[in-house]
């Protein structure tokens, strides 16, 4: 009896096939979309990664160039370079007898050079790249699923 009921409502075979094919195609489409998103992100990340490598190398080259040029600048500003220029331009050293002192309230004659921020002023270290740019789709899913507050489940 049961068998005959089923038989009575059975779809036409082509309908079942279309339904089955549609389901498979839907799944495939979903997978394809996910893959495309994944591929797109991976492609972007790869591109950024390659840029980072190139920039890293450029940074090293620039650091070396800066170091060399700062030394060159220091050479131009060195005492043995400045003194002849000073004399050629007609400057003469003032002596203590010729100095006229003027009272300037609040003037601080000496100050210490700061080549870098002092240790006490150091900013708190934090990541410079947001996690959205580094996590995988799987990481993202994991993070979001774990943050879902399911009813009846103690957090």
Which residues contact other proteins (rule: CB under 8 A)?
A: 42, 45-46, 48-50, 52-53, 56-57, 60, 63-65, 67-68, 70-75, 77-80, 94-96, 99, 101-105, 107, 109, 112-119, 122, 128-129, 134, 136
**Residue 118 and residue 141: Cα distance in Å, rounded?**
42
Structure tokens at 152: 């009846």
| Comparison of 10 and 65: residue with beta carbon closer to other proteins | 65
| Comparison of 7 and 114: residue with beta carbon closer to other proteins | 114
Q: Smallest distance, Å, CB 125 to other proteins?
A: 11
Q: Smallest distance, Å, CB 89 to other proteins?
A: 17
**Residue 63 and residue 69: Cα distance in Å, rounded?**
10
| Comparison of 17 and 63: residue with beta carbon closer to other proteins | 63
| Comparison of 34 and 74: residue with beta carbon closer to other proteins | 74
Q: Smallest distance, Å, CB 17 to other proteins?
A: 24
Q: Smallest distance, Å, CB 4 to other proteins?
A: 32
CB 135 within 8 A of CB 143: yes
CB 149 within 8 A of CB 155: yes
CA atoms within 13 A on the CB side of 2: 0
CB 137 within 8 A of CB 37: yes
Rg, C-alpha atoms of the chain: 37
């Amino acid at each position: 009896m049961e068998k005959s009921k089923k038989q009575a409502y059975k779809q036409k075979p082509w309908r079942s096939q279309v339904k089955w094919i549609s389901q498979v195609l839907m799944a495939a489409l979903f997978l394809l979309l996910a893959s495309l998103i994944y591929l797109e992100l991976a492609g972007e990340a790869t591109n950024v990664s390659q840029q980072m490598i190139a920039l890293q190398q450029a940074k090293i080259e620039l650091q070396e160039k800066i170091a060399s040029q700062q030394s060159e600048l220091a050479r131009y500003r060195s005492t043995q370079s400045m003194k002849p220029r000073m004399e050629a331009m007609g400057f003469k050293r003032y002596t203590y007898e010729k100095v006229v002192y003027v009272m300037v309230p609040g003037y601080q004659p000496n100050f210490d050079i700061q080549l870098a921020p002092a240790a006490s002023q150091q900013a708190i270290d934090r990541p410079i790249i947001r996690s959205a740019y580094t996590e995988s789709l799987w990481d993202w899913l994991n993070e979001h699923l774990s943050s879902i507050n399911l009813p009846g489940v103690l957090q």
